[in-house]
Amino acid sequence: MTDILTNLRNISGDTYVLSGNDDRKAFDTDVFGDKIGSSLAVVRPANTDEVAAILKLAHETGTPVVPQGGNTGLAGGATPTADTTQIVLSLARMNAIENINPETRTATVQAGVILQNLHDAVAKHDLIFPLIFGARGSCMIGGNISTNAGGSNVLRYGNTRALVLGLEVVLPDGRVMNLMNALYKNNTGYALKDLIIGAEGTLGIITRAVLQLHPAPVARATALLSVASLPAALTLLRKLQDASGGAVEAFEFMPENHMQGYQNLNPDRTLPLETPGAVNILTELGATSQLLARPGDDGRPLIENLLEDVLTDGFENGDILDAAIAQNDSQRDAFWHIRESAYEVATSDGPAIDFDVSVPLDQVETFLDQAAKRLASVVPGMRKTIVSHLGDGNIHYGVLPENNRNGIAPALKTKVMEVVEDLVTELNGSFSAEHGIGTSKRPSMARQKDPVALDAMRAVKAALDPQNIMNPGKVLP
């Protein structure tokens, strides 16, 4: 033990090896305060060479290593477990944006860059890195990549995997693997980059990345809608995509009780819709074509005219029941506040059994209907919270049993998880759409994942990390 601490101090300096309980606490505890591990030490390397030296040491001593970025993950992947021999390797000091190239629209960054800082830096070039979600002020790029983070505009720009051109990875034995290319075509062997992305630090540690940037939209059109049904919403999405040439940046579903819950929490705010119904949609189009930003006959940008045309059509055929279009940024912010209050709305009624699932786009309604039916007998008096990135089939589904404020019995939780996840599997969906596996979803992996695929994953893990020192106890059951 002492040897390892001494060696870590020799690598990164005394200041950057934290072994006291108080110093380690923030690193040992997950974002909810639910999962509390107990590491031997936290080491905070300054650069790739130090990461490599630490992993070489870990390799030689069989020491388990937990890579950590902003520690904002929702599945426990970045938090140490109870094993007191683990060291947490924090990437937080490796926070340089090394290069932004406006000509190729790429950025080269270290793993510890906070997502919001990258957003701010590329905005100066009228560019965006289109990964956006609540934790952006503290999550780090390395963690985003390790979890293949999603969010609300995957619909347009893809998951994190689609935004990463190159990676530098330190393998479990301390060797540095250089995949740092800014290339759009590169068929030179196996897709190691894609394999490392989403592996949640179990195959190696991401130290640097080349990221794809996109032009910032030059105009936006944002609407809150009450739609006749989920199939009508899917039709509307297609019409918006066709009218705008794929410029739909968000297509978010909120059911009636979300709107009601939001109103209860925000009694001073007036809901933009006079008659929120069963299916409320927040949609936003982002014009990246300058043409769509030009003023139309009414002086408003063409992208807004285009949105209005689709909505008018939807009113006429009965697909749309009510609509509000944001007339300015403060109205837009007010619309988004309703969606972004999902966490507050969901938790205002006490703890829930939470799911982050996805199904094929045309199966969302079936999922919601069937889940309600099958859970009715399992959870008497059940309430539920739902918000959905409907445009990509991702549903955040929360089940609140009666008397949930007094705690939820583990047996009930397990039963509910089985019912919901069995349904998801029947519908050819995913039991973890964007939050990953970490420790929380390992039982689901064991139950739901194709056993042949699980075996293949275990073979890959054993091949690249034969000592099982990289983030052990995560991802694979």
Query: Is residue 134 helix, strand or coil?
Result: helix
Residues 310-369 that bind its own copies (CB under 8 A): 358-362
Query: DSSP assignment, residue 472?
Result: T
**Token code pair at residue 245:** 């040439």
302: contact with its own copies by CB under 8 A: yes
In the range 164-183, which residues lie near its own copies by CB under 8 A?
171, 175-183
Tokens coding 86: 């683990």
Complete DSSP assignment for 287-352: E-SHHHHSB-TTSSBHHHHHHHHHHHHHHHTTSEEEEEE--SHHHHHHHHHHHHTHHHHHHTT---
Q: Does 186 bind its own copies (CB under 8 A)?
A: yes
- Alpha carbon 94 to its chain's center: 22
Q: How far is the CB of 171 from its own copies (least distance, A)?
A: 7
Among 148, 153, 280, 440, binds its own copies (CB under 8 A): 148
Q: Considering beta carbons, is residue 41 or 342 the nearer one to its own copies?
A: 342
Nearer to its own copies, 283 or 394 (CB): 394
Beta pairing partners, 384: 399
Residue 186 CB, nearest distance to its own copies (Å)?
4
Position among 449, 469, 472, 473 found at the interface with its own copies (CB under 8 A): 449
* Shortest distance, position 109 Cβ to its own copies, whole Å: 16
Among positions 5, 31, 412, 445, the unique one binding its own copies when judged by CB under 8 A:
445
CB of 35 to its own copies, least distance (A): 18
206 binds its own copies (CB under 8 A): no
Backbone angles phi, psi at 177, to 5 degrees: -100, 120
Binders in 242-261 for its own copies, by CB under 8 A: 242-247
**Shorter beta-carbon distance to its own copies: residue 286 or 401:** 286
CB under 8 A: which stretch of 112-120, 145-153, 315-323, 326-334 binds its own copies?
145-153
* Residue 309: count of CB within 10 angstroms of its CB: 12
Of the candidates 123, 291, 372, 376, which one interacts with its own copies according to CB under 8 A? 291
| Choice between 404 and 432, CB closer to its own copies | 432
Considering only the stretches 28-36, 55-63, 368-376, 387-395, report the one whose residues sit in contact with its own copies under the rule CB under 8 A.
387-395
The shares of helix, strand and coil residues in the chain, as percent rounded to the nearest 5, are 40, 20, 40
What pairing do the DSSP bridges indicate for beta strands 87-90 and 65-68? parallel
Note whether 150 binds its own copies by CB under 8 A.
Answer: yes
Structure token digits, residue 452: 């042949």
Q: What distance in Å separates the CA atoms of residue 31 and residue 342, rounded to the nearest whole number? A: 17
Number of residues that bind its own copies (CB under 8 A): 96
CA neighbours within 13 Å on the CB side: how many for 404? Answer: 22
